[in-house]
Amino acid sequence: MEEQRLFKRIKRLTGQAIGEFNLIEDNDRILVAVSGGKDSWALLHVLQELSRRAPIRYELIPVTIDPGFTGFDTDTIDKQIKTLGLTPHTEVTNANEIIAANLRPGSSYCAFCARLRRGALYTCASRLKCSKIALGHHLDDHIETLLLNQFYSGSIAGMSPKLQADNGKHTVIRPLVYVEEKMITEWSHLKKIPLIDCSCPSLARKDQKRQRIKRILEELSAENPHLKQSLIGAMSNVQPRHLLDKNLKEF
């Protein structure tokens, strides 16, 4: 079946990233952030499948952050997690109120919300005694962030597949770094997984810089089918002596 073929590719690429970056170690207790979207479902499914044949033992703790937006369907998320034989955990927050009161004009609604959710995940990880936090950022997320930082922040920076969290207590891992978004989209459609929208206000969906970057990448990919692979490869092929950062070398 096509769904099985796609999942096998996703699993292979995820396993490659785990091995190359040493993302999962023996006896890890991993908080898996489950938003209800396609990426987090793919992450949870593939990590559970890999655990069945892994030479090490690790435990998955699915956690959903409820931002407080009206209509966010945590019940369906919980039911889907239980079908995998896992125990769901939901952290209810008032992120909606915090954003409404503190979002500055011109600032990114989604970026602010993401920071609040990340803080809630850190809190949950400590309470549930998880040393690692797995996020569902895929290949497209990594290269879009790279370009966003260059275009709008004046920095050459992306997302690391493994890094110490801001609180210094946890390790954030991104096992889907080599998996393209279109692969996850097709798999979730064939798998018929219920996709849950975050139910954020329509304001958050307008004029997002990331969506513009997505369109640019799609246009360029039509001319060069290997564009995204080239960009993700560039992130692991840095040439410091050809850059302008004076902290990297003496001029």
Q: What is the pLDDT of residues 105-142, one digit of tens each?
A: 877 778 888 888 999 999 999 999 999 999 999 999 99
CB atoms inside a 10 Å sphere around CB 210: 16
pLDDT higher than 80, residue 67: yes
> Which pLDDT score, from 0 to 100, does residue 206 have?
57
> Which pLDDT score, from 0 to 100, does residue 247 have?
84
- Rounded to two decimals, what is the model's pTM? 0.93
Q: Cα 128 vs. chain centroid, distance in angstroms?
A: 20
H/E run at residue 233: helix 227-234
- What mean pLDDT comes out for the span 37-49? 97
Q: Which domains does the chain have, with CATH numbers?
A: 2-238 (3.40.50.620)
Of residues 213 and 102, the one with the higher pLDDT is: 213
User: Taking a C-beta distance cutoff of 8 angstroms, is the pair 143, 180 a contact?
Assistant: no
Q: Please, what sign has the CA dihedral across residues 47, 49, 50, 53?
A: positive
Q: How far apart, in whole angstroms, are the C-alpha atoms of residue 56 and residue 54?
A: 5
Of residues 220 and 247, the one with the higher pLDDT is: 220
